[in-house]
Every structure is written in structure tokens, then in C-alpha cells.
């Protein structure tokens, strides 16, 4: 994980109030990956409520136009779970793409 990726993961740990080692084990467990890699239904609702409808990356209120983003990208082994998902405004998510900033 590069420095920016480490900073992003640290921000996620603080955001969720989780133990870093346990969180790393959970969100980077490739066996938990959803084959379709999309956050659906109730999981999206949980993420939106937890994040108060604000973009994890820039902090703006997203309203009804938002993406549920994998902080650790699915393509890099990130789990499709609420702990690895955050609200992202469309511009931030498209800029981030499959990178661990």
C-alpha cells in the first residue's frame, strides 16, 4: 500500500472507529468479494445512513446522486461489505476509479 493508500485506510479506520488490524483483515479478504462487486439494497442504505449522506473523500452532501465506493477497490481484493464501502460523490468516485489513492 502506498503512502496515499495508507492515509486513506487510516481515514477509514478513524471514520468507522475500528481496530486497524481487524479492519484490514476484513476488508481485504478476497473470499468476501461479491462476484458482481456492487453494493445493493440494504447495504447501500446502511452506508448512506452511517456516512450521513456525505462524500467520504470531499465531505459534500450528495443528495440522491451518489456512488457506494469500495475504499479498498474490489479489483485489488477489497470486500463488498459495509466496512469497505463509503458514500462518494460522483466526481470523487470517478477520479478515484480503482486506485487506493
pLDDT (0 to 100) of residue 3: 42
Closest by CA to 16, choosing from 87, 94, 101, is 87
Using CA atoms, how far apart are residues 42 and 67, in angstroms rounded to an integer?
14
Question: What pLDDT sits at residue 1?
Answer: 39
pLDDT at 18: 78
Three cell numbers written together for 68: 457506494
One digit per residue, the tens of pLDDT, for the chain of length 101 reads 344 667 777 888 888 887 778 777 776 666 655 676 889 899 999 999 999 999 999 999 999 999 999 988 888 888 888 988 999 999 999 988 777 65
**pTM score > 0.75 for this model?**
no
Question: What angle separates helix 3-16 from helix 20-27, to the nearest 10 degrees?
Answer: 110
pLDDT of residue 64: 93
Amino acid at each position: 500500500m502506498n503512502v496515499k493508500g495508507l492515509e486513506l485506510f487510516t481515514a477509514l479506520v478513524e471514520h468507522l472507529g475500528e481496530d486497524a488490524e481487524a479492519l484490514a483483515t476484513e476488508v481485504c479478504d478476497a473470499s468476501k468479494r461479491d462476484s458482481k462487486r456492487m453494493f445493493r439494497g440494504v447495504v447501500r442504505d446502511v452506508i448512506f445512513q452511517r456516512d450521513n449522506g456525505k462524500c467520504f473523500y470531499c465531505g459534500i452532501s450528495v443528495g440522491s446522486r451518489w456512488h457506494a465506493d469500495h475504499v479498498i477497490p474490489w479489483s485489488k481484493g477489497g470486500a463488498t461489505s459495509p466496512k469497505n464501502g463509503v458514500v462518494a460523490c460522483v466526481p470523487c468516485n470517478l477520479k478515484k476509479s480503482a486506485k487506493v489513492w
